[in-house]
Amino acid sequence: MRYVDSHTEGEPTRVIVDGGPDLGDGSMQDRIERLARDYDHVRRTVILEPRGSNALVGALLVAPTRGDCAAGVLFFNNTGYLGMCGHGTIGVAVTLARMGTIEPGVSRIETPVGVVSVNLVDANTVTVENVASYRYRSNVTVEVPDLGPVTGDIAWGGNWFFLAKDTPYPINLDNERQLTDAALKVQRALREQGITGRDAGDIDHIEFFSGALAADANSRNFVLCPGGAYDRSPCGTGTSAKIACLADAGTLAPDTDWVQESVIGSRFVARYSLGPKGEIIPSITGRAFVCAEGSLVQQPGDPFAEGIG
């Protein structure tokens, strides 16, 4: 399989551009289900050590079902599959531009949760107009061992998030292990107490927030991804979920920039518009940089040809 690696504000994406499995016809949801059912060894090969890492997100390019889309994409990580990935979509857009598939301007990409648009501003800067996002429940309190009651919002930004009102530790890399452990405890408590997203959707992303360190940013976050690794970027779907909460609370007006810092200090600029039915449509602007191109190799006799784990 041929791949292109990039990072979006520090968070890596590996795009499989050739040699992936033939998933046939059908919707993006049909194809990601087929990928999970019949070709999960591909996900493991691409993502897991020794070829990948827990922080890596994979993206398989597939033919779109719609004529107005430049590509279809299926996202996956070290534990499974994602409906949407904001940083990954920015990485995919920069990769498609490098391949000559898209040019500067607006293109559309089909994902399992819907069509998103990408505006390639320059070789590295992309604005993603995400799927409609919303706050599902506000001020939900979960009892968490060692932390006590933790209150936050449940919101959809392409994945399900629990957005805690406060952070148990200052958001910096010195506290990465403590923040990760705390977020895992929150995630576990939500599941044990039966707290879910709409239609019993699993809340597999946890966000903590604090004030920004930079004077021109609005917030700093720490995001735990489903596989237990923290997001080096400010998280595109997580920032979309945050924007949806702010919009629902009436504290952020449409077409107003909101600058979200990550735990490593990288940033996304977010804003939202209102759809035809009043739905919240977030846009996320960030930068991605291609950092490697190559082929994944499986030699005969390799005991870890399909990854470790």
By the 10 Å C-beta count (0-12 exposed, 13-18 middle, 19+ buried), 98 is classed as middle
Q: Please measure the distance between the N-terminal and C-terminal CA atoms of the chain and give it in whole angstroms.
A: 20
Catalytic residue (one of 69, 225, 235, 245): 235
Catalytic residue (one of 69, 85, 225, 245): 85
How far apart (Å, rounded) are the C-alpha atoms in residues 266 and 286? 9
235 is catalytic: yes
CA 15 to chain centre: 14
Q: Is 192 helix (H, G, I), strand (E, B) or coil?
A: helix
Q: Is 69 helix (H, G, I), strand (E, B) or coil?
A: coil
291 is catalytic: no
CB distance 69 to 109 below 8 Å: yes
- Cα distances (Å, whole numbers) of residue 23 to 29, 35, 59, 73, 112: 11, 7, 14, 12, 14
Tokens of residue 260, six digits: 């979200």
Q: E strand or H helix at 242, and its extent?
A: helix 236-249
- Among all residues, which ones are annotated catalytic? 85, 235
